[in-house]
Amino acid sequence: MPTDVRGHEVPDLDSVPDLYEIPQRLSLSVRDPIPVANATERAQVIADLAALPVPIVPSSSEPVYVHRADAGPGLALEYTEDGTDWHTVPATPSVVKREAVGVKTVSVSGSAGGTAAVTFPAGRFTSAPLVIPAKQTGALAQFIPYVTGVTTAGCTIGVYAGDGAPATGSVSVAWHAIQED
């Protein structure tokens, strides 16, 4: 039986239509998720599909999808490519987010800038994160925070005088490190 542009089986115009088989084959060619109550019913669906006169066997090019009612939130949509191993289709894109936050005091002593080392929690990041600094105090108002030397283990928080004038004091800088895989 030929297929239309969406991959659904359609009647061949040159053959005598079988009024039972045509809608049955059309229905089976639609690859929408099949509602099931649980894993037992999911296994029965695979057995029923395999027992059809023209068996439907899951494959990588034609997986079988189910919507399992007893699965947890965001885990109900599943598919198989072999009828045995089932994979969950995440409800939202899978984004692993690793974060760390802190506040570092940067001392300035008679100069136009200063730096302080930040150490991230051990093993938190698998690649160098994005680190965003934000000045937390009004002291030494002319000083602007920056970040340099970012690795998976830490970074350096610095401040520099926007007007270039030396000063003495300390600047509190909050930082937020983010890695999205």
Q: CA nearest 122: which of 98, 103, 104?
A: 98
Decide if 127 contacts 179 (C-beta within 8 A).
yes
pLDDT tens over the chain, length 181 residues: 677 776 777 777 777 666 667 677 667 777 789 999 999 999 999 999 999 887 889 999 889 999 999 987 778 899 999 999 999 887 766 566 899 999 999 999 999 999 999 999 999 999 999 999 999 877 778 899 999 999 999 999 999 998 888 999 999 999 999 997 7
Residues of the chain within CATH 2.60.40.2080 domain(s) are 97-180
Determine the 3-state secondary structure of 96 from DSSP: coil
pTM comes to 0.50
**CATH class, 97-180 region:** mainly beta
Q: In 92-107, which positions are buried (b, 16+ CB within 10 angstroms) versus exposed (e)?
A: eeeeeebebeeebebe
Q: CA nearest 68: which of 20, 33, 24?
A: 33
Q: What is the DSSP string of 107-137?
A: EEEEESEEEEEEEPPTT--SSPPEEEEEE--
